[in-house]
Structure 1
Amino acid sequence: MKNTQTDIQGLPIAAVERDTGLLKDTLRVWERRYGFPQPLRDVNGERLYPANQVDRLRQIKRLIDQGMRPGKIFAADESTLAEWLAGSGVSEAAPGHFRELIELLHQQRSEDLRQMLQQNLLKLGLQRFVTDLLVPLNVEVGLAWMRGDISVSDEHLYTEQVQNTLRSAIHALHSPGGSPRILLTTFPDELHSLGLLMAEAMLAPEGAHCTSLGTQTPLADLAKAAKAGNYDIVALSFSQNYAARQAWAGLAELRRQLPAHITLWAGGRHLCERAPAIDGLRTLAEISDVLVALEEWQATQA
């Protein structure tokens, strides 16, 4: 008997994209290239992903976020994957305040979470709050989500509270006449904005004047804004699931549209591997690299 849509259990591709952070195009490419995932089909021929495949996709996404390449992951056997995942997990040796923060997320205690983030900000200062707390905490939260300790809504709560904390701290440091003038954004199809805020939080205490356009700015509009605002630097953030080849093509095109005096920064660890030569482009593997790049820019101006 032919399956009907009610007979088939699974998530549509749009829900899997939201749940895992993997783009629809990425899922389709993996299906063709690696034979996984293997979605079912509803009566209309649309893909439906069983729960066990979605769980595996979460695990694959976490390994990729830690720097592994998809080809290596898909070529590994089950025991090797289990070893990698065990090695990447958050152990009980994780700092106590990390575990406490994650428990606050799990309990949806947003006000307590806000206060704890604020206390750490006051204790560490803005730049160390980013490098010493947020960078490792982002990994911990992602791993907790992969294990199923927190839900998608919990992770969204975390992102929202961190963004609110950073925005308030950055606003308190705002210097309209600062230098250099830096324009921050992401390319179309790049939805992750936390990297932009973290970069701005590193730069604001150094006196830089930062303006964020948020996410998904078309290239032509970005080039126009950079020229109209007389910016010195255009900084873009790329998450791990943004294809490096697509990023390089966009950066090369943006470079052609920008005046030579405007420097390009591209943040994303995976972009630093086999980076092509593009004049006036500085790649940033770690969030702390923005300060090194800033010093380099200041040296050229001097």
Structure 2
Amino acid sequence: MSRALMMSIAAVERDTGLSKDTLRIWEKRYGFPLPTRDTQGERCYPMEQVERLRVIKRLLDVGHRPGRVVNLPPDDLQTLADRSADAQGQPPRAGRGRQVGPSERAPDAAPLPPARLGFAAPSLPERWVDDALARVDQHDVAGLKRLLAQAVPTLGLARFITDACAPLLQAMGEGWLRGRFQVPQEHWVSQCLQQSLHAAIHALPPTDPAQAPRVLLSTFPGEPHALGLLMVEGWLTLQGAQVINLGAQTPTADLIEACEHHQADVVALSFSASAPAHLVQEALPTFRSRLPARVAVWAGGRNPLLARRAPAGVLVLDDLNSLSRAVHAWHDARVAPGDGSRA
């Protein structure tokens, strides 16, 4: 990507378990984290800082004090994390801890995972994918589930999506083309990923409905791929959206009815590379014309027709970064400055 992935302060709060007050106080007291500001003046954090915050949070959970760890250089922080992991000698419990206040430590602390808590060395995703593919080769469903269960708390949901789900799916697709994997293997891998994503998404604290865009998520009939919807649901939830995931292949009439019922602000649709051309060229513009003007339509996925022939009134999103920017733009347009209410 040409621009670094950024996360809002609300997304960082949900991802790390560190409260907004904690992040602001550390910024003033320790000079870290160092957010930028979006067009509305809200704090935004690059992924490198979020990864460092995850490590700091886990160190706090096992008894370290903020003043001794927040200002540590990344290498020293990782060394301390590795030592703490060795001292704990056991894997972490699943799930996220509660939020930690400015001068508070979680009493029910989860032990540190055994390696690379937040700083992913360039080879980490590749090694993880290779290990996962070996489980698929061996038809080891339980083994893959264990890998996924370890990856979610280690990476956090955002990087689980970008560094685990996405590369594993790409490798599975390449393996299928080469004859390495068969359709049944693709199906159970997809089910394992969906289960992990469901659990991780449901473990997130709820968003504030008064400040969150309500996003209806689905695909048109003829587009059966549901796993991508879950990845988008997770990413949108981290960005502070209130997501209603209808699953794949929702008839357009039902989509319109659901949009009215839920008073959706956005309908987000996914189009895979193999989606029939008429879904982009005909069904999408027709659907846009049948919705009220106040409802935004976002379209994403790997279908090349989206970039070449984007219908009028449809925002085409080509990656997760553009999805994040779309949520921020919604806030810029709909939320009055200094006010959490809808404009």
Partner of 1:172: 203
Q: 1:190 to 1:274 in 2, by over 3 A?
A: same
Q: Which residue of 2 aligns with 1:68?
A: none
Matched, 1:238 2:288: no
Let me know the Cα RMSD of the aligned residues: 2.0
Alignment of 1:99 with 2:133, yes or no, is no
Aligned match of 2:310: 276
Partner of 2:234: 201
1:59-106 per-position Cα deviation (integer Å, ceiling 9, x unaligned): xxxxxxxxxxxxxxxxxxxxxxxxxxxxxxxxxx99222111011012
Find the counterpart in structure 1 of residue 243 from structure 2.
210
Aligned to 1:296: 329
SS in 2 for 1:125: helix
The aligned length equals 210
1:57-206 to structure 2, matched below 5 A, reads 95-173=126-204, 175=206, 177-178=208-209, 179-206=212-239
Unaligned runs of 5+ in 1: 1-92
Residue 259 (structure 2) aligns with: 226
1:15-94 equivalent positions in 2, closer than 5 A: none
Q: SS of the counterpart of 2:320?
A: coil
- Conserved in 1, the CA contact under 8 Å of 2:128 and 2:164? no
Letter in 2 for 1:166: L
CA displacement, residues 12-39 of structure 1 (integer Å, 9 cap, x when unaligned): xxxxxxxxxxxxxxxxxxxxxxxxxxxx
> 1:296 & 1:94 partners in 2: Cα distance?
31
| 1:245, distance to aligned residue in structure 2 (A) | 4.1
Task: Find the aligned partners of 1:129 and 1:170 in 2 and give their Cα distance.
Answer: 11
Match for residue 252 of structure 1 among 254, 279, 285: 285
> Structure 1 residue runs of 4+, over 4 Å off?
none
Q: What is the DSSP-based 3-state SS (H/G/I as helix, E as strand, rest coil) of the residue aligned with 1:173?
A: coil
TM-score by length of 2: 0.58
Letter in 1 for 2:184: S
| Amino acid corresponding to residue 286 of structure 2 in structure 1 | E
Q: Which amino acid aligns with 1:210?
A: V
For 1:214-247, what per-residue CA distance to the aligned partner results, in whole angstroms no more than 9, with x for missing partners? 1111111111110121011101111111134432
**1:154-177 deviation line (CA, Å, top 9, x unaligned):** 111110000000011111125264
CA separation in 2, counterparts of 1:265 and 1:142?
A: 25
Contact kept in structure 1, 2:269 and 2:299, CA below 8 Å: yes
Instruction: For residues 264-292 of structure 1, give each alpha carbon's deviation from its aligned partner in whole angstroms, at most 9, with x where no partner exists.
Output: 0111232442233412x211112342112
Gaps of 5+ in 2: 1-123, 336-343
- SS class of match (2:308): coil
Contact 1:266 1:283 in 2 (8 A): yes
1:264 and 2:297 are equivalent in the alignment: yes
- SS of 1:266's partner is strand
Structure with a larger share of its residues in helix: 1
